[in-house]
């Protein structure tokens, strides 16, 4: 697993435990993505933190399945239980990690919502974080 940086380590896993991960250092503010693809994948909206790939260690990486959801990005999920885990833009050194798998406390907070124009019609965004109709 990842080594500790600045004394901070955040751990998480999928529902069945086949995939476990650790992030060294603090987590970025949470981004809520309300785009159609995230809503279809999760059943609601996707809340993620964005970290450097170098700060992420994955145990059980052979259980991660990647789905190329567009020309620019792919989504990682557990091949055993189906848990949504990761989102990454092709060709970058950053990866978004779904917040639901992290153990508490995470030490972060909601930083904003993107693609709010595509959100479901059954809920309102009302947590006070900035709301962007497109990608921010």
pLDDT tops 80 at residue 4 = no
pLDDT tops 60 at residue 6 = no
Regarding beta strands 94-98 and 46-52, do their DSSP bridges make them parallel or antiparallel, or are they unpaired?
A: antiparallel
Domains and CATH numbers, the chain: 28-54+63-118 (2.170.150.70)
Find the angle CA(135)-CA(78)-CA(20) to the nearest 5 degrees: 95
pLDDT tops 60 at residue 52 = yes
pLDDT tens string 63-81: 999 999 999 999 999 999 9
């Amino acid at each position: 697993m990842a080594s500790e940086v600045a004394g901070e380590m955040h751990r998480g896993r999928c529902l069945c435990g086949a995939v476990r991960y650790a992030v060294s250092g603090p987590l970025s503010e949470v981004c809520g993505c309300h785009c159609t693809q995230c809503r279809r994948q999760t059943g609601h909206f996707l809340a993620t933190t964005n970290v450097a790939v170098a700060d992420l260690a994955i145990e059980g990486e052979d259980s991660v399945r990647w789905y190329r959801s567009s020309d620019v990005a792919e989504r990682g999920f557990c091949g055993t239980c189906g848990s949504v885990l990761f989102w990454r833009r092709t060709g970058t050194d950053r990866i978004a990690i779904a917040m639901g798998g992290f153990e508490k406390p995470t030490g972060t907070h909601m930083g904003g919502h993107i693609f709010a124009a595509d959100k479901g019609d059954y809920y309102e965004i009302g947590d006070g974080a900035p709301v962007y109709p497109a990608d921010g």
